[in-house]
Homo-oligomer: A and B are copies of this chain.
Amino acid sequence: MNLILLEDRDFIRPDRVRLQDDRCRHITRVIRAKPGDTLFCGKKNAKMGTGQIVSMDRNTIDMQVCLDRDPPPPLPLTLVLALPRPKMLKRILQSLASLGVKEIFLINSRRVEKSFWASGVLSESDIQRHLFLGLSQSRDTLVPQVHLKRFFAPFAKEELPKLCRNKQRILAHPKAQTTCPVGINSNTVLVIGPEGGFIDLEVQTLVDQGFEPMTLGDRILRVETAVTALVSRLFT
């Protein structure tokens, strides 16, 4: 935890917070901070800065905070990802939050196992928890938006065209001929399929929406590796 992420309810005065949950335990046991120590802090969807511990006991930490800095700029990316298996989704949400991705659509595809949609990881509270871990890791405060889209066709044909107006459109596709560009650094919608890839009909639907299939090379990467590799290469 490189940043203590604060919420409205933590503030007992405009410049003072009281922590009594996991963050408190983390500060005491992992960071091993002491009264007087200064920690990186940031308020959810707001500024970041420092917090100085003014008092602490086993279950409560009070900090004097000074939040005067903007969080790092978001990536100009909308990521559309076929729902990965739940265990991998946790890590992907953390990675995406830490990389600065702010718009995430988890969508269905023929090769997404139906059971994945019933996973507890998709609960609002679990999603938020994994996003917070990523933000705390990378020192950011802007919480990504995660949208669940249970049906491929209505999403791809009706919502996606609106989302990608005036944006570069990339479909990560291991079988593509074109190699994925480097450092495009402009507004982009990136679509990444499931393990095993989108079926041909889904690829065609996306191509019809102006998406260009692109590859990272001969190697077929796990979704979680591919997500990081693609984001890191597109935005430099």
Contact = CB atoms under 8 A, between A and B. Distances in A.
Contact of A221 (B98, B225, B233, B236): B98
Contact of A219 (B72, B183, B220, B228): B72
A193 B99 CA distance: 18
A221 B183 contact: no
Interface in A22-65: none
Nearest to A40: B220
A148 interface: no
A218 B72 contact: yes
Contact of A182 (B100, B137, B236): B236
Interface in A105-159: 137-140
Nearest to A227: B228
A94 B225 CA distance: 10
Contacts of A230: 232
Interface residues of A, number: 28
A188 interface: no
B219 A139 contact: yes
A187 interface: no
A222 B2 CA distance: 10
A211 to B, nearest CB: 21
A217 interface: yes
Contacts of A233: 182, 232-233, 236
Given A217-B72, A233-B233, A233-B236, A225 B228 contact: yes
A199 interface: no
A219 B182 contact: no
A182 B235 CA distance: 10
26 contacts: A72-B218, A72-B219, A94-B222, A95-B222, A98-B221, A98-B222, A98-B225, A99-B221, A99-B229, A100-B219, A137-B220, A137-B221, A137-B222, A138-B219, A138-B220, A139-B220, A182-B182, A182-B233, A182-B236, A216-B232, A225-B228, A228-B232, A229-B229, A229-B232, A230-B232, A233-B233
Given A72-B218, A182-B236, 7 more contacts: A138-B221, A139-B220, A225-B228, A228-B229, A228-B232, A229-B231, A229-B232
